[in-house]
Amino acid sequence: MARLTPYLSFRDQAREALEFYRTALGGELEIMTFGSMPGMTDDPAEEELVMHGQLEAPGGLVLMAADTPSSMPYVPATSGVTVALTGGPEDMDHVQAAISTLLDGATDVMPFDPAPWGDHYGQLTDRYGITWMFDVGAS
């Protein structure tokens, strides 16, 4: 079955960001570097940059990220694109724990509180400039 998966672009912070997200979300992290694939970079200083990183967190969440070597155009996080972490009442503790970690260095924080429609809702922009939205349904 096809699925939509967030794929985040960084200049040179993908490894650091993915490790931070693993701390927040849990799961297994796999990282492939440009240096591990012959011919992917001509610059020895860029061999340890992340060519492809994938975090498989509990509950089926997959978050991918990569660095952008100097030979490619860098496209930073786009305004209007948000990573959403959502769930039901059984996910409340997991979502609150993730938020607690992601708040470190975050800006534009909307507290995770009860919303008029009955869910708990909040959002933030993390230390890497990635916007997150959180929603936990009441039932």
**Which ranges in the chain are annotated with CATH 3.10.180.10?**
7-67, 82-136
Averaged pLDDT, 36-47: 87
Residue type, 51: M
Task: Reply yes or no on whether the pLDDT at 139 is more than 80.
Answer: no
Determine the pLDDT at residue 72.
87
Residue type, 48: E
**Count of Cβ atoms closer than 10 Å to residue 18 Cβ:** 24
Q: Which residues of 95-114 are buried (b: 16+ CB within 10 A; e: fewer)?
A: beebbeebbeebeeeeebee
Residue 33 Cα to chain centre, angstroms: 18
CATH code for residues 7-67: 3.10.180.10
CATH code for residues 82-136: 3.10.180.10
Half-sphere exposure of residue 111: CA atoms within 13 angstroms, side-chain side = 2
DSSP state at residue 17 = H
Which residue has better confidence, 55 or 39? 55
Select from 75, 78, 83, 81 the least CA-distant residue to 102.
83
Task: Reply yes or no on whether the pLDDT at 79 is more than 80.
Answer: no
Averaged pLDDT, 48-64: 95
Whole-number percent of the chain with pLDDT over 90:
80
**Residue 111 — pLDDT band, cuts 50, 70, 90?**
very high
Burial classification of residue 5, based on how many CB atoms lie within 10 Å of its CB (0-12 exposed, 13-18 middle, 19 or more buried): exposed
Residue 98 Cα to chain centre, angstroms: 11
Which residue has better confidence, 136 or 44? 136
Averaged pLDDT, 113-129: 96
